[in-house]
Structure 1
Amino acid sequence: MQRTPLIAANWKMHGSTALVQQMSAALSELPPTNLTIVVCPPATLLPRFSQVSSFALGGQTLSHEVSGAYTGELSAELLQEAGAHYVIVGHSERRTLNNEDDALVAAKLKRAVAAGLIPILCIGETLAQRQQEKTEQVLAQQLDAVYASQPELLAKSVIAYEPIWAIGTGESATPEQAQATHAFIRQHLAQYDTQSAVRAKILYGGSVNAGNCAALFQQADIDGALVGGASLKPAEFAQICLAVTQGAKE
Structure 2
Amino acid sequence: MAKLKRNILAIAFVVGHISADAQMTSHDAEQAAWIQAVTSSMVYTEKLYTTKAVVIDADKNGLRAIDVNGLSDFYRNKGWKKVESLQSIGATDANVHIGYEIVTFKAGDESYTQLIIWNQKNGGPLRELEVIGRSVNQGNVTAEVLDAPRAKWIRLCNEHDPLKLVAELYTADAMYYNHKPMIVGTEAIAKEYWYMGNSSYQLSLTPIVIEMVNPDLAFEIGQCSGSYNGKYVLVWKKSADKGWQVALDSNI
TM beyond 0.5: no
Structure with the bigger percentage of helix: 1
| Higher RCO structure (Cα 8 Å, ≥6 apart) | 1
When normalised by structure 1's length, the TM-score is 0.26
Whose radius of gyration is greater, 1 or 2?
Answer: 2
In terms of fraction of residues, the more strand-rich structure is 2
